Amino acid sequence: MAVENPVAADASANEEAIGLCVRRFYGRAQKDPLLAPIFEVSVPDWEHHIGKIHDFWSRALLGTERYEGFPFPPHMRLPVEPEHFGRWLALFEETARETLSPALAEKAVEKAKHMAACFLSGMFPFVDKNGRPSRQQE
């Protein structure tokens, strides 16, 4: 009688949970009043995008090597403002905590917070006259 490898079973369950997290997050983002307009103009092929993002989170959380590339450059072209980052992060954290194991959710949320901070500072490196992050120096 063969005994199932618990590590492989966990990896499989984690992959499934990551897939659920990504799909549920984007399902919500597509309906979100603040985020939906960004995605409408930026994502022409949802299945391709979801697959790529699943691969990204699989690499970030499980160390797989399916994702290649750098996520920052494509985001530079998006018509986002600083407030989009807070909403993205809140929606992601809510979804991660619903769909991932507690340990995996914590790791995902910490990675997402780090990414949001890096993207925000990279995309808005200046401060405007009102003290808000800005893409241009005034």
25-76, pLDDT tens digit by residue? Answer: 999 999 999 999 999 999 999 999 999 999 999 999 999 999 998 999 888 8
Instruction: Give the predicted TM-score (pTM) of the model.
Output: 0.86
DSSP states along 12-71: HHHHHHHHHHHHHHHHHHTT-TTTHHHHHHH-S-HHHHHHHHHHHHHHHHH--S---S-S
What CATH class has 8-134? mainly alpha
For the stretch 74-123, pLDDT in tens is 888 899 999 999 999 999 999 999 999 999 999 999 999 999 999 999 99
Strand pairing partners for 134? 126
Contact predicate 21/95, CB 8 Å: yes
Distance CA 34, CA 39 (A): 10
